[in-house]
Copies of this chain bind each other. A is one copy, B any other.
Amino acid sequence: MELDEIFERGIDRDWQATDPADVETLRFAIIGLGWFTRGRALPALEDSEFCEATLLVSGSKEKANRIAKESDSPARGITYDEFHDGVGADEYDAVYIVTPNALHLDYVETAAELGKAILCEKPAERSSERTERLIETAENHDVPLMVAYRMHTEPAVRRAREIIQAGLIGEPQTVRGSMSQRLLDRINDDPDQWRLNEALAGGGALFDLGVYPLNTARFLLDADPVAVCGRTKRSHDAFDEVDETATFTVEFPNDVYATCFVSHNARQESELVVTGTEGQVAIRPAFFQDQARSLHVSRGAARAEIEFDIVDQMLEEFDHFAHQVRTDGEIYADGEHGLVDMYAMEAVYESEQADGWVSLE
């Protein structure tokens, strides 16, 4: 594949082999109704031809019903307890779990028992141990489990991957990735922000943001980490339980290193750059939603900037999941894929204690 072919693909869904008209709509119970569900997930499902939200699950039935009514979906609200009791189980085919990390396993257990397909937010749980149990639960009930990495279906990322796989940058020699935002500016609206609570989140900036450059580097290189080394930082009181900032290096096979910086207390910014022996591809900006993405491609003496129309990343992700479930396609990223990130991120924390590299092999 050459650059012009990749350019021509633009934001096409190369993974979509079946028309939505030819498959049954995948009906979702949405578990957790925070800002991300209201602002990102529900609007995407409203636009989807593959999916729809039919049940909204929250601590408060009133809140769930109010949000359902405000949305453009046929959904109705139920409580978490009702969900666990199997209420409305015939009204949905799949669950999208978008609760605090430490609660994912509970909902996976109920969803798996009910035989539902599972789309679970990343990181998969608050620890690798609970992620292992989560995977085992889905396997035991033979239900599809996908971890919700929205970068895998982001067209700019897929085109960057194609550029690398086509050999257009030669042998990848290094990756650098960054993702930062000012979480505290958001927290004014939500003082009980679970992301600051170690018991609920498991980790801070590393778990929330670090998973983006880590996982996207894996996706672009088509390789898994060998070792990690990193440090975290806490400067603001709000981060007394979890890391505010993480700086870490991930070793991949063939001595390819990805250097990463993520922060909940820095100006919003994101970038992912892969430099090879012959060229470079940079995704800039890389990770936040509702951004027009560009690929900066250089090779030899030439450079090109490929600009992409904005896509709704949640729509791409939901549709991909529904497409794969309905066509018995491969579920990617599956739980085992997510578990690799959990091991790597926990190893970054270990690395800080060890003051050096921690092997993942």
Contacts and interface: CB of A to CB of B under 8 A. Distances in A.
Contacts of A259: 176, 247, 249, 259-261
A235 B247 contact: no
A333 to B, nearest CB: 26
Task: Specify how many copies of this chain sit in the oligomer.
Answer: 2
Contact of A174 (B182, B247, B251): B247
Interface string A168-208: 01110110101010100000000000000000000000000
B280 A275 contact: no
A69 interface: no
Most B CB contacts (10 A, CB to CB) among A266, A269, A279, A357 go to A266
Contact of A298 (B176, B245, B249, B267): B267
A82 interface: no
Interface in A341-361: 354-357
Contact of A265 (B173, B249, B356): B173
B261 A266 contact: no
User: A interface, how many residues as a size bin?
Assistant: 35 or more
A176 B261 contact: yes
Interface in A220-263: 229, 231, 233, 235, 245, 247, 249, 251, 254-255, 257, 259-261, 263
A336 interface: no
A268 to B, nearest CB: 8
B247 A249 contact: yes
A276 interface: yes
Nearest to A182: B277
A174 B257 contact: no
Contact of A356 (B171, B180, B278, B355): B355
Contacts of A182: 277
A63 interface: no
Contact of A277 (B255, B267, B280, B299): B267
A251 B169 CA distance: 31
Contacts of A276: 266-267
Interface of A: 169-171, 173-174, 176, 178, 180, 182, 229, 231, 233, 235, 245, 247, 249, 251, 254-255, 257, 259-261, 263, 265-267, 269, 275-280, 298-300, 354-357
The 3 closest A-B pairs by CB, nearest first: A356-B356, A259-B259, A247-B257
